[in-house]
Every structure is written in C-alpha cells, then in structure tokens.
Amino acid sequence: MSLVSQTESPGSGTSALRRTGFSLGSNCGDRLAYLERACDELAELFGDLRLSRVYETQPVGCPPNSPNFLNACVEVLAAEDPEEILEQVLRIEKKLGRTRNGEYGEPRTCDIDLLYCGEEERRSERLILPHPRIAKRRFVLQPLCDIDPGLKLPGLNGTVADLLAQLPENGEYVRPFDL
C-alpha cells in the first residue's frame, strides 16, 4: 500500500499528500480530554483523521511511580515538510500544557510523536523518520494496527502487525480503554 497520493493544490500545481502518523499519549490530569483536544487540534490543521482505539498502558522508560498513560494513534494526509509538521505538533503540545523540565519520561499532559511521513526516511538533529523506537513500542504498534495492520514503513521489515507479533512478552500491558 502506498503512503503517498497526488492531489491538485490550488495555485501550486501537484503536491504530494503523504500518510502521516502520530502517537498520542497523556498521563496527567484528564488524560482522555487531552487526547481529544490533541485530535481536535490535528483535525484543524490537517482535516480528516483516522483514529485508533484508546489504550491504557503502563509507563515505559519513565520515572518510578509514574501514572499510567492513555495512548492512541492518528493518521492524516499531509503535504507539509516533516520539520514543519514537527513544529506544529510542538505548538499543540505547548497549547495543551506540556512542559519539558529535562527529565526523560517525565509525566505529561500531552505527548505527540511524529511516527512517519509517507515513504520519507530522515535523520536530522531534531527528527528521525520513521520514529526510531516505533518497532519496539507495543503502545504504538497496537493502536497503529487498529488504523492499518498492513502498513509498511520505510526501513522496517514487515507490516506493523508483523512488528507487533515479533515483540517479546515482557509483561507490558496495553489494554483497550473503555470510553
């Protein structure tokens, strides 16, 4: 399945719309409301969203006694450069109260990770695509399978369903969250 489609853009000729995926997470405050607000902000920027279910997950790589997360994935069609998309995402996080105090994995109101942008593979100081830990994160792969289990990402072997099936059982839970 191709991650790119061609569309006409008024005044600019043909521009590529790329399937672009995000992982959303929250483990502070009204977690579900933060995910909903993040989706609203993404929809305002990109239009239609493809949404996964919401999952409750235990913190991975976070300080001890961190609260559980709610996680979901969202896919949009975007023509913007990935670095521009990253800037937009950082603005949304800030708008939703995300602070960065320098501690890796610190609790957060809203975390939005850019996972992929079409067939693009990128390594810059600010951005690596596809996301460098996507194939190791059950809390990302499970919701991505809700959107498209057959999704293949550049530089990775197999579909997201294959990658999920290959993850070792380590006691990490990813449970559907009842809305």
What is the per-residue pLDDT for 104? 65
Evaluate whether 150 touches 34 at the Cβ level (below 8 Å): no
- CATH number 3.20.20.450 is the correct assignment for the domain at 4-176: no
* Distance set, CA 39 to CA 82, 83, 102 (Å): 18, 19, 26
Boundaries of every domain in the chain: 4-176
pTM: 0.89
Instruction: Give the pLDDT confidence of 144-161 residue by residue, as tens digits.
Output: 999 999 999 999 999 999
